[in-house]
Amino acid sequence: MNGKFVISLDFELHWGIFDIKSVKDYKQNLDNVREVVYKLVELSNRYNVRLTFSTVGILFAGNKKELESFFPSRKPSFIDKKLSAYNSMDIVGKNELEDPYHYAQEVIKNLSKDDKHEIGSHTFSHYYCREEGQDIKEFEADVIAAQRIGKHLDVTIKSLVFPRNQVRDDYLRVCLENGIITYRGAEKGIAYSPKINGKNSVISRIVLGGLRLLDCYVNVFGTSTYPVSGLKSNSGECINLPSSRFLRPYNKKLRHLEPLKLRRIKNAMTYAAKKNELYHLWWHPHNFGMNMKQNFDNLENIFKHFEYLNEKYSFESETMTSLGTKLISK
């Protein structure tokens, strides 16, 4: 196969940070998410780029009564209770109109009308698979709940992004048994190991965070691209489409480094196009909630480079599921 370009977006609104920040702490970013999502679709369609919206299942609900009707049979038994979305239901409003931070049914309905793009899963409850207390049965209940609420909106979920990249190999069987064929694994390099609450010391978080920041601008851990021919998993396993790069949002304090960030991404995309490899870019829509113009200017720069690579090397844009389906049928 030719080189492939995949973009996965962790669509989560406040559910991605509910255990870290309040809505008030992050309000501007969250307020602009809907505008960001529609701008992403418009820009990607202009450049024939396909998007995977890896969506927290709770967002599929239109109101609290509907949400509660899809709660899983088992809830996660995290030792740290603040990690469970079910312990934060008191902050959730009655419906999407009253509370646009915890529901997104109308957005999802609009996204599902465009068959260029995919709605995947970010688990039902932003479930942390490596945190202490939870187990595989509770994860399975979460996956089933995500599928059920997806079908409620005529969305069939076939791809998964694990919150905070907490992938567990033993949990992948559950994914496959419930219709999920692809997932996004972590990229290469020690700095990209999953973040686990209470397991990472302050010093290690600072050091690893510094390495990730440096790798954003200069080549520390390589291109993080992957031969397409080697992506197909063994029979009976989910296909890993590993991350290549988190697209860091524009930072005014680091604005002079923006050209380096873009060059790092485009150089790796070029390498993937020439070598028939996968380049998998990801971020959260809420990352673009501030400095929207600068973030979309950067993204259009990347899309223009994709357009060039598509014409010269037949570099192709895929959703996670469209690529997974091709790999399975290969």
The first and second tokens of residue 188, run together, are: 């290469």
SS3 100: coil
Q: Is-contact 183 161, C-beta < 8 A?
A: yes
Which structure tokens are listed for 214?
């440096």
- Give the pLDDT confidence score for residue 190 in this predicted structure: 77
Query: By percentage, how much of the chain surpasses pLDDT 70?
Result: 96
DSSP string, 73-92: SS----SSGGG-GGGGGGG-
Q: Which helix (H) or strand (E) holds 327?
A: helix 320-329
Question: What's the confidence (pLDDT) of residue 204?
Answer: 72
Q: Computed from CA positions of residues 291, 296, 299, 305, in that sequence, does the dihedral angle turn out positive or negative?
A: negative
Eight-state DSSP code of residue 58: G
SS3 of residue 282 by DSSP:
strand
Statement: residue 311 has pLDDT above 90: yes
Mean pLDDT along residues 176-192: 90
Q: Is the pLDDT of residue 200 over 70?
A: no
pLDDT at 201 (0 to 100): 62
* H-assigned helices in 178-201: none
Per the document, the length of the chain is 330
> Can you tell me the distance from the alpha carbon of 72 to that of 141, in angstroms, rounded to the nearest whole number?
5
The model carries a pTM of: 0.95
User: d(Cα 166, Cα 196) in Å, to the nearest integer?
Assistant: 8
- pLDDT tier at 189 (50, 70, 90 boundaries)? confident
Lowest mean pLDDT among 62-71, 183-192, 263-272, 282-291: 183-192
What pLDDT is recorded for position 209? 83
Note the pLDDT tens digit of each residue in 235-250: 567 999 999 999 999 9
Instruction: Give bridge partners of residue 9 from the DSSP assignment.
Output: 53, 283
pLDDT, tens digit (0-9, with 9 covering 90-100), for 273-308: 999 999 999 999 999 999 999 999 999 999 999 999
User: How much is the mean pLDDT over the chain?
Assistant: 95
Residue 29 exposed, middle or buried by CB count within 10 Å (0-12, 13-18, 19+): buried
